[in-house]
Structure formats: structure tokens, C-alpha cells
A and B are shown apart, each in its own frame.
Chain A
């Protein structure tokens, strides 16, 4: 368990890039989970509690991936540029998931629709960032 929880130092640009790609992948997965859960919920295929749990856990996963990534110091100027390019898409994704959870729990249909739009935009941004990191 300790092994699974460790975040070791990142001392090379390649290592930092790999960690960034991993964090983006985790956030992208969380966004996809929330979108699938909401789509199924909209089609009447979920239970209320399952939708709530799925989007809460998606928010928690994305937030934890972002926090873990932010705790790493970029090792060079190039890595710092990468950090700056990726930071905003990650933040937007976490915020969109946060807004979705709040709106869903309060039964605010308008808020949910708005949050889903934010979620789509955040997904596009995260995908673009992922492609940029991989290229």
C-alpha cells in the first residue's frame, strides 16, 4: 500500500512529461466516468445513489491526480513550460466536476446542463493537452 501511495521525485524532463501524461490520463478517465454516468442517468438507467457516487468519485479522482501532479517540482525550464500549459486544463476539469456534483446534489437541472457543457469543454482541453504532451 505504501508502494502504491508513494510519489517519488521527478528529476528528468522525460520523467516529468510521463507523470504529466499519467495525470492527464487519470483526469480524462474521471471526466469520461462522469459523462457516462450522467448520460445513463439522463436515459433513466442509473439509480440516484449510483450517479451521485460515480460523479463524486470522479471529482475526487481528478482532484487527487491534480494535487499529486502539482506536488512535483518541474525539473527544468522546458518542464516549467509544460507545467504552465497543462495547469489550466487540469484546473478546468476539476472545477467542472465540482460544479457538476454540486448541481446534481441540489437537483439544479439548469446547473447540471451548464456543468455538462463545462465538462465537454474541459474534456476537449484535456485531450488536446494529452496529445501535446505525447507528441
Chain B
């Protein structure tokens, strides 16, 4: 039974790792750069795994979710700025996820995606409000595994594995792209792996599931196995785009473009699997994002929070989640392109990442809270290297965004 629970958690983490950010950035970069940016996914996934494990450990041992920690360590004013940045960014991400689901429904039905935005947003709210936490997490996480069809596609096609491996291990900047564009998309892949809402959701979800020291092996399996396998899934999407779209000189600008390699390799059945995976991954991410906004605001103001608590008991938490969904739906209904919103949100996310991750590193080192479960020297060294990398990347993000006109 325990093995089943751990396996379920790992599968959920794989499915939950991939959202519209990974789908879009992996598709775009595979078609434009081949495998030359694989390293950015590898680095981002290692960072997410490292800090995800740390945030999960803090939630299980110190029984503190991330935004409690942020407020305590940064003080009320600095953490209020952090909260505002996080909420704005997460609403942008939520808008992209809702828009992404609507775009896939357009591909399925032929009806314009804007028609689908209100019902998708309503369904997100309904799931946040009514569905049990574990059911939500497991159902969409496992449906998200349909995206493994990208791995299948690579084996079905006459893939030149040697060329893919060479591309991944010998990064180069294609002559027609230039260094700024290369770096911009490296940042976008990095950002897609390190989305702040995921770490907030992971640690707050841990509190929802009442993690304790006994839950550490399960939590570690989720983070140390599930996230890296999620990263591999992102690489598979990149590779499929590199194999099918790059030789045709197709630039990915739509979610439908990311489905073409599957149609090529597997046919209509594969497309159906990919569509189910797209919807599950983005819908789950939308729910997690809405919940993360509620979690962060609730934790900052010291309100009661939690999906398992009914709206009658915690109306403020549920109202914040509802307002976030309404704001995101209204934003996407302005008809801004969800794919463009995704690129901007993952890149801006990188700028905000150090503010979310730094307090986690501090508390994970605090022996008053963590006792013998505090960070070891090697994990501190690695986490510090990553923090420096995050700070450097966050400083470079805005100039790159402006210089490349968001990767155009």
C-alpha cells in the first residue's frame, strides 16, 4: 500500500511538473535550436528538485509552508512586495494556463478559444472549491502522464539518437539566431522549470496532506524522482520538435504546432493522447496556481487556509482563489495571445525566483526549526551555487526580454 502511494506521488509529480510553460518553451526551442538548449532544462530541473525537496522538508519538519517562512525571514514590508510580485505573476501564469486549455479545446472543437475561457475558468474554480485535494492532484497528475506519448514518438520515429545526443552535449548558437535570442530562450526554459507557484504549491500541499517527519521518504521520492522525470518529459517534447519541426524550418508559435510531431510519429491516436495530456497538465497547473495564490495570501496575513477547509469556514481563502480565477479569465479575454503571455510569465518568473527561494534556503539551514534535518554541507553548497545562478539570471532577464522583444 505504501509503495502504491509513493508510486502514485511520483507519477503525480511527473505529470504535475509539466505545464504550459514547459510545453511552449520546449516546443519553441526544439524547433529553433534543436537540442542545443537541453542544458537549460537540466539546470532548471536540478534547481527545482533541490529547492522543492528543501521546501517540502521545511513543510514536513518545521510544519511551515513557504510564505510563512518568507514573511518571517524577510519581514512584513519586504515580504509584502514579494507577495504582490508573486500574486501578479501567478495571475499571469493562471491566465496562460486557462488560455492554454481553451486553445486545446479550440483545436478539438473548432470553436474559438475565447468561447472556452469562461467555462474553463468556472471549472477551475469548481475543482478548487469542491474536489478533494488528493483526488485533484492524483487525477490530473496521472492524466498528465499521457504526455509520455512524446517519449513513445521518439522511439516510433527513425530518430537519430546520436545526433540528438551530440546536439544536447555540444551546445551551439545557430547562426540565424544570435546570442541574445539563445540566452533569452535559455532563460525561458530555466524559468519554465522553476516557476515559483510550483514550490509554493508543493510545500502548502504538504501541509494540506499533513506531512510529518514520517512523510519525508514519500516527499523525497516525489521531488527527487518525480521532478527529474518531469524534466525528461520536457526534453522529450524538445527532441520531438527538433526531429520533426526543425528540418522543416517551422517556428512554433501555437500549441497546435507542438502536436504536429505526434501526428507525424503516432497518428490520430497519439494526437488524442497528447491533447488529453495537454488539457490535464494545464488544467492541473491552473488549479495549483489559483490555490497557490490563495495559500500565499492566507499565509502572509495569517488567515486560516487550505483546500480541505470548506468556504464557510475559510471564506477569505476561497474568495482570494475565486478572485484570482476571475482576474486571470478577464485578462485572457482581452484576446492577448496565451502563448505570448506564457513566454513573458516564465521569463518574468525568473526575475522573481530568488525572492521565493532564498528564505527557503535560510530556514532549511535553521537548526532551531529543522534539528538534525537541516541542510547538509553539500546541499548548502549546491543550493548556494543555484541561488547565485538565479540572481545572475534574474538580473539579465529584463534586458534580454526588451532586447529580443520577448524572443521574436
Contacts and interface: CB of A to CB of B under 8 A. Distances in A.
A57 B338 CA distance: 14
B193 interface: no
B248 interface: yes
Interface residues of A, number: 26
A114 interface: no
B254 A50 contact: no
B276 to A, nearest CB: 13
A49 B106 CA distance: 8
A61 B343 CA distance: 18
Contacts of A54: 256-257, 260
B344 interface: yes
Contacts, number: 80
Nearest to A39: B264
B304 interface: no
A3 B108 contact: no
Given A26-B251, A47-B268, A1 B341 contact: yes
A33 B253 CA distance: 10
Contacts of A40: 260, 263-264
Interface residues of B, number: 35
Nearest to B407: A4
Given A1-B340, A4-B340, A57-B254, A32 B249 contact: yes
Interface stretch (B66-74, B230-238, B369-377, B398-406): B398-406
Interface of A: 1, 3-4, 6, 22, 25-26, 28-29, 32-33, 35-37, 40, 44-47, 49-50, 52-54, 57, 61
Given A29-B250, A32-B249, 9 more contacts: A1-B341, A4-B340, A26-B251, A36-B260, A37-B260, A46-B271, A50-B256, A50-B271, A54-B257
